[in-house]
Amino acid sequence: MTRPRAAAERFIDGLPVAVSAQLSPIFSPLIQIRPLDVVPELAGVGALVFTSANAVAVAAENIRSRDLACHCVGPATTEAARNAGWHATQSGDNAQQLIGTLTKEKPIGPLMHLRGVHARGNVAETLSRAGVPCGEQAIYDQSLRPLNDAAVEVLAGSEPVIAPFFSPRTARQFADTANPCAPLWLIALSPAVAEPLETLPFQDMAIAGGPNSAAMGKSVEMSLKRANRVEGRPDAH
């Protein structure tokens, strides 16, 4: 698992027990979340937009009031915002769906998208062009990290390795730094995430059936079944 540790653990915990029991998770985050020394400027803002649970966690440390409503991407981000005390609504499974929902509903604004330095989708710009005024502010950075020793060791072995990727940036970091010998069963959230991985030697690469953790979990389950059948082994990393 190459996501930040908390997100990676949530993903593993969300897998069916029958699946997770056959896996030996290796946690090697390729991105580290670093809060920026900024306080969000929210004067006149009507509602917040969150596209990641990381943004919620950082914002919760810097914003005392919970009066503003939140429009969120995905169940994990929505749940994180609710747990932090905000009135949060899931407005889509990805940024494109959120933009479509908010463009149609035209919530009371202006909105403020609190995000990381590295973000995709041009949420604020696209919403503003569609008649939904939205500002944006980066409140954390996502610095790249190398694979840790445990990941390097398992990639140098002969056991099958299932590796799910949720972002193009993480996939690119893996493709640039990994030197795998193990049979790789890669899973990508989208074609854009899959593209950097195509330079790697792999046994199989699947693209999830939807832009969410549930679809990624299903892909892990299917990859595990195929890996066990091909490799003739009872479990995988």
User: At 45, is the secondary structure helix, strand, or coil?
Assistant: coil
User: At 22, is the secondary structure helix, strand, or coil?
Assistant: coil
User: At 222, is the secondary structure helix, strand, or coil?
Assistant: helix
User: At 91, is the secondary structure helix, strand, or coil?
Assistant: coil
Confidence at residue 190, expressed as pLDDT on a 0 to 100 scale: 92
Confidence at residue 121, expressed as pLDDT on a 0 to 100 scale: 76
Domain range 5-30+146-231, CATH architecture: 3-Layer(aba) Sandwich (3.40)
Selecting from 3.10.310.30, 3.40.190.10, 3.40.50.10420, 3.40.50.10090, what CATH number does the domain 33-143 have?
3.40.50.10090
- The predicted-structure confidence for 152-209, as pLDDT tens digits, reads as follows 999 999 999 999 999 999 999 999 999 999 999 999 999 999 999 999 999 999 999 9
Please report, for the chain, the start and end positions of each structural domain, with discontinuous segments joined by +: 5-30+146-231, 33-143
What is the layout of strands, in order, in the sheet containing 87-90? 31-35, 134-144, 111-116, 47-50, 69-72, 87-90
- The predicted-structure confidence for 18-46, as pLDDT tens digits, reads as follows 999 999 999 999 999 999 999 898 999 99
140 vs 118: CA distance, rounded Å: 9
